[in-house]
Each structure stands twice: as C-alpha cells, then as structure tokens.
Amino acid sequence: MAGALVGSAVGDALGAPFEFGPPGAFSARFPVPARGAATEMCGGGPLGWEPGEFTDDTQMALLVAGSLVERGRLDEGDVFDRFRQWADADPPDIGNQTRAVLSSGLPWDRAAAEHFARSGHAAGNGSLMRTTPAAIWFSRSGTDATVDAARRISALTHGDPSAGEGCAVFHELVRVALDGGDPLAAVPTAVALVTEEHRDRWATVLAPDWEPSIATESNGAVWPTLGQALWALRHGRDFAEVLRLVLDLGGDTDTVACVAGGLAGAVYGMGGIPMRWSSAVHGRIPGHGDRVWRLADLQQLAAALDGKPVPSYDPGVIPRIGPVEVLPGIWAGNLDGARYSDEDFAVISLCRLGEPFPHTNHRMAYIADNEYNVDLDVMLTDVLDDLSALHAEGHRVLVHCHGGASRTGLVLRGWLVREQGMSVEQATAHVAERWPHLGLWNASFTAALERLAGG
C-alpha cells in the first residue's frame, strides 16, 4: 500500500521541475542515475519547487486521504470542503478548472456539474492525479465499490464523465495490483467497466499498441495521461524506468509521473522505489496548517488507508553506539549514534526513526529485521549503489539501524562482497573484527549476501 501512495508523491515531485518542458528534458539533464548527494530530485521549474517538494497533485490527494481516514467513509461534502479550504489559501499550483469550480461558491453537489454545463470542457487530468489514496482505501471493498467511489470523487471538480471513467479504470488497476495481480493483464476487464458511450475512446488509449506519439490531445487531458502511464508500465523494467519514460514525454510531467508512480508503486512496492527519491519527498498542504509531510508520514497514512492500526513510533532512549569508522570512509552506529552524529555525515538509515534527522544528506531504506523482506535483493542493491556513489564523492557515509547490529552488518558485509570481492565468510569475519556489535541471527540476510556474491 505504501508503494502506491509514496510512488505517486515521488512521481509528482520528480516531474514538477520539468512541467511544461520539452520531451527528453529529464534524460538530457540526468542521462544516468544520479545517486550521489545531488539526485534527480532537483527542484526548480516554473514555480521554483524545493528539491523533492510535491505539488497540488499530492496536496489534493492527501486531502482525500485525510477525509477517508477521519470520516471512515466517503463523505463528498467533507472532501469538497477540504478542497475549498485549500483553494482559498491560494496554493502556488492549482488547475484553472479546479480553481473555477472551488471558487464558484456553489455547493459540492452542483459546482462541477454547473461548470461543465457552461464550459463543456472538464476532462482534464486534475481528478486522476489525486485519486491514488481512494484507490488504496476502496481496494479492500471490491470492484464495484472502488469504481463507484472513483467516479464520485472525480465529479466533485470534474463534471465531464470522461474524467470519472479514467479514475474508475485507474482504481480497478490499482486494486488488481495491490491484490497481487497484473494490472496490465486486467486492462480489458477494467475498460469493460467504462460506460458504453466512453468505452471506445478509453479502449483506444489503453490498448497495448497505443503510443504517446499518436495521442490526439496534450497530456493535460485525462485520456493521454492514463494512456502514457500504462504505456510506461508496459515498457519499463522497474519503478525508476517507468518514471524516466513518462518524464521524458514532457508536458504535464508532474501529473503524468504522479499517476504512473501510483501504478508502478502498487506493482513494485515500497522496496522498488529508489531510496534517493522516497527519502527526499516532502511538502505542505496550503490552508491546512504548517505540517511538513515526509516519507514516514506517507507510510503511516498508507497503513491507515489500508485499515491497519497506526501506532505512534517512539524508539525510546537507547545507549548511543558509534559512529565508528568500520571500513575506510564508511562508518557504523545505532539509531541514536546516527541521530546525534556530525551533520556532515551522509546517513543511510535502515530502520524507523521517530523524529526526522537534521542531516542534509540522508537516505532511508526500511529493511525489516525478519524473514519477510520480499524485495530484499532490490533494496540491498539500491543501498549499495547509493553508498558507492556517496563514498566516491568523498562523503563520510554512516550506516545504521536501530541497534547497529543485524541490518547495519548486512550492508557493511554487502559492501565488502560487492566492492572488494570477498566471500560472505570473509566479509563477515572482516566486519566482526572491526564492529563487535555485528548481529548474525537473520538467515535471510546471509542468503541475500550469498546471492549477491553469486551474481
């Protein structure tokens, strides 16, 4: 669940600096993955976004999520009131159509419909961009419920039924992915859910042979937005490549990447999202307080959307361990050893944190110290790739988990296996000699290291 929500926010923040730009701008600036201190979360763009800052796409999505969690059901009036409060705060990025509807003064059940009746144009992608939280929430309730909710939430600001039908298809594809299925294989079934008068148009843009080059509208419209997201999901090998493909299409990059990120995150999970991106994502919701939403907040919200209890996390007071230089340029510690370390460390965290760290260079990869890390190999490779890049730039890199033992030892040993060509046994002995806190109780970590050594 967290993969879908975080993935959509990551796509939004990655795409914001390139919004309204030409095709290929993303890869022209970042021809290869940027894993050092300066990543693809570069900020800037037409509205001067901070690196990793999300836009109106995620702001509105969080308002939908907050209403669902707090009300315990879909309350269209409450969602609309939250939207209106946000719009009244004059956010820096808000679609013209959405602004017109929310500033009309009309009640929630008339504002969008009357705007559509007057203008005849309301099939933008502004309702699709914010619907991932609702897709998560209603995925537990089955196809009929999620499709109905998608249409109802879309209709709050987008009176054109075409927009709602696109949201309905998206909801069903996310439901399939979160249930462990293949959303691409489910496209024909999802298209069959579209009302008959809109079905042919959606079938065209979601067909396997559709290409962005044959779109008949800009990707500010709902049809090519979802079409491009699915096209990228078909052709990308992993989460990062899916986003690179849509970002290089140009145009409304934040929204198309937001939609693609929600789908790809549902498919590849939280472990498939590069930590250099997820660690940077953040933002505020104008009109709704000064809270800064960060990765941990999004993960907690995703759990709530999935109906799971979300206890507050208090790591407690633990004796500080480290930081200690265990390998040349690579330091180790436990949670508080890292938290209170010099802020010029580049920190790689492998556990939940509680309060955010003050360090400028901070990556977070949430590896559980148990046997159930289904994406362990992917996450370990991601951590080692970033560690290698930061180390090569001359940063003092500090690796830690809660106790500084098992997960920290996994990464230290993995570094020696991959970079020094050691066997797992040699790497274990080497680290144990220099880091007496090494924990070896997790057999799945040793198995992952053996796969790394054999790869």
Same domain, 217 and 332: no
Can you give the pLDDT at residue 20? 92
Banded model confidence at residue 313, pLDDT cuts 50, 70, 90: low
Tell me how far apart the alpha carbons of residues 69 and 73 are, in angstroms, rounded to a whole number. Answer: 7
**Quick check: is 318 in a domain?**
no
pLDDT of 232 strictly over 70: yes
pLDDT digit string (tens) for 101-151?
Answer: 999 999 999 999 998 988 877 689 999 999 999 999 999 999 999 999 999
Q: Which residues span the domain enclosing 433?
A: 324-454
Number of folded domains that form the chain: 2
**Quick check: is 319 in a domain?**
no
Helix, strand, or coil (residue 400): strand
> Average of pLDDT values for 50-76?
98
**Quick check: is 315 in a domain?**
no
Average pLDDT, the chain: 95
Helix, strand, or coil (residue 188): helix
Can you give the pLDDT at residue 312? 62
pLDDT of 216 strictly over 90: no
Can you give the pLDDT at residue 306? 94
Same domain, 123 and 236: yes
Same domain, 243 and 332: no
Q: Which of 271, 306, 341 marks a domain boundary?
A: 306
Count Cβ atoms within 10 A of the Cβ of residue 328 and give its class: 0-12 exposed, 13-18 middle, 19 or more buried: exposed
Query: Is 58 marked within a binding site?
Result: no
Looking at residue 28, which CATH number applies to its domain? 1.10.4080.10
Tell me how far apart the alpha carbons of residues 126 and 98 are, in angstroms, rounded to a whole number. Answer: 7
Banded model confidence at residue 311, pLDDT cuts 50, 70, 90: low
Q: Where are the alpha helices (DSSP H) in 318-371?
A: 335-339
Same domain, 194 and 227: yes
Same domain, 128 and 239: yes
Tokens of 199: 């079905």
pLDDT of 317 strictly over 70: no
> Average of pLDDT values for 67-80?
98
pLDDT of 294 strictly over 80: yes
Same domain, 158 and 68: yes
Tokens of 437: 């806190």
> Average of pLDDT values for 59-82?
98
Same domain, 175 and 33: yes
Query: Is 57 marked within a binding site?
Result: yes
Same domain, 195 and 167: yes
Query: Is 109 marked within a binding site?
Result: no
Same domain, 129 and 48: yes
Q: Which of 286, 317, 285 is nearest to 298 (CA)?
A: 285
Q: Which of 222, 213, 284, 207 is nearest to 259 (CA)?
A: 222
**Quick check: is 237 in a domain?**
yes
> Average of pLDDT values for 435-440?
97
**Quick check: is 169 in a domain?**
yes
Can you give the pLDDT at residue 374? 86
Tokens of 186: 């489910």
**Percent of the chain with pLDDT strictly greater than 90:** 89
pLDDT digit string (tens) for 343-353?
Answer: 999 999 999 99
Query: Is 297 marked within a binding site?
Result: no
DSSP-assigned beta bridge partners for residue 147: none
Tell me how far apart the alpha carbons of residues 125 and 142 are, in angstroms, rounded to a whole number. Answer: 24
Can you give the pLDDT at residue 122? 64
Q: Which of 306, 332, 361 marks a domain boundary?
A: 306
Same domain, 281 and 364: no
Helix, strand, or coil (residue 29): helix
Banded model confidence at residue 217, pLDDT cuts 50, 70, 90: confident
Same domain, 56 and 184: yes
Same domain, 286 and 416: no
**Quick check: is 224 in a domain?**
yes
Query: Is 255 marked within a binding site?
Result: yes
Can you give the pLDDT at residue 443? 96
Looking at residue 333, which CATH number applies to its domain? 3.90.190.10
Can you give the pLDDT at residue 315? 65
DSSP-assigned beta bridge partners for residue 327: 330
**Quick check: is 314 in a domain?**
no
pLDDT digit string (tens) for 355-393?
Answer: 899 999 999 998 999 988 889 999 999 999 999 999 999
pLDDT of 177 strictly over 90: yes
Banded model confidence at residue 218, pLDDT cuts 50, 70, 90: confident
**Quick check: is 410 in a domain?**
yes
Can you give the pLDDT at residue 230? 98
Query: Is 56 marked within a binding site?
Result: yes
Q: Which amino acid is at 141?
A: S
Q: Which of 246, 276, 306 marks a domain boundary?
A: 306
pLDDT of 289 strictly over 80: yes
